Amino acid sequence: MATTHTVLDSPLGALTVVAADGALTGLYFEGHLRMPPADTLGERDERGFEDARVQLAEYFAGRRTRFDLPLAPRGNAFQQRVWELLRGIPYGETRSYGALARELGDPGLAQAVGAANGRNPVSIVVPCHRVVGADGSLTGYAGGLDRKRFLLALEEPAHARAARLF
């Protein structure tokens, strides 16, 4: 499996995008809490990342609400299930850890869901930023809470923004 990476500019700083055999395996912020060691990212290569570059630019410009990229995040079966649920959270919406645990069939799994969410290797594309505490509070984010706030504000529906003005 040939692993390569590139670094893209974004409103949130440099994003390291990693792929193996044409599928994204990682998307990390500068200073990401769980950034893998540089020697595991493969060679830097701009080729093969065109779709990711375009789709991320569209997302940050507010013109894309869903990604259509091949994904191959590495994780155990439980993590994969949680990451699949994350992909189902619609743009502009949030879910609590407990709600995701209930979707998995066991409300007692909220902490395990939180741990899997925190290990999501494909930030933004697999929208772990859309997961919040039961009371709506922003909880940890491997990219930092300021970035989580930014992403949630970017996705906030216009009617919700307007309602806050009055």
Q: Which pLDDT band, with edges at 50, 70 and 90, does 140 fall under?
A: confident
Residues 53 and 86 in one domain: no
Give the pLDDT of residue 86: 97
Whether the predicted pLDDT of 52 surpasses 90? yes
Report how many domains make up the chain.
Answer: 2
Q: What is the mean pLDDT of residues 78-104?
A: 96
Residues 45 and 93 in one domain: no
CA angle at residue 13 from 7 to 16, to 5 degrees? 25
Residues 101 and 49 in one domain: no
Judge whether 72 lies within some domain.
Answer: no
DSSP string, 57-96: HHHHTT--SS----B-----HHHHHHHHHHHTSPTT--EE
User: Which tokens sit at 48?
Assistant: 């093969």
Residues 84 and 140 in one domain: yes
Give the pLDDT of residue 163: 57
pLDDT tens for 12-36 read: 999 999 999 999 999 999 988 888 9
Q: Which pLDDT band, with edges at 50, 70 and 90, does 1 fall under?
A: low
**Which residues form the domain of 18?**
3-60
Q: Which candidate, 67, 49, 40, 35, places its Cα nearest to that of 7?
A: 49
Residues 117 and 152 in one domain: yes
DSSP, res 13: S
Judge whether 70 lies within some domain.
Answer: no
Give the pLDDT of residue 159: 62
Q: Examine the residue annotation and report whether 128 is marked as an active-site residue of this protein.
A: yes
Q: How many Å apart are CA 111 and CA 4, to the nearest integer?
A: 33
Residue with tokens 């307007």: 162
SS3 assignment, position 11? coil
Where a domain ends, among 17, 32, 60?
Answer: 60
Any bridge partners for residue 18, and if so which?
A: 5, 26
Of 56, 86, 109, 128, the active-site residue reads: 128
DSSP, res 107: G
Q: What is the mean pLDDT of residues 116-131?
A: 96
Residue with tokens 């599928």: 23
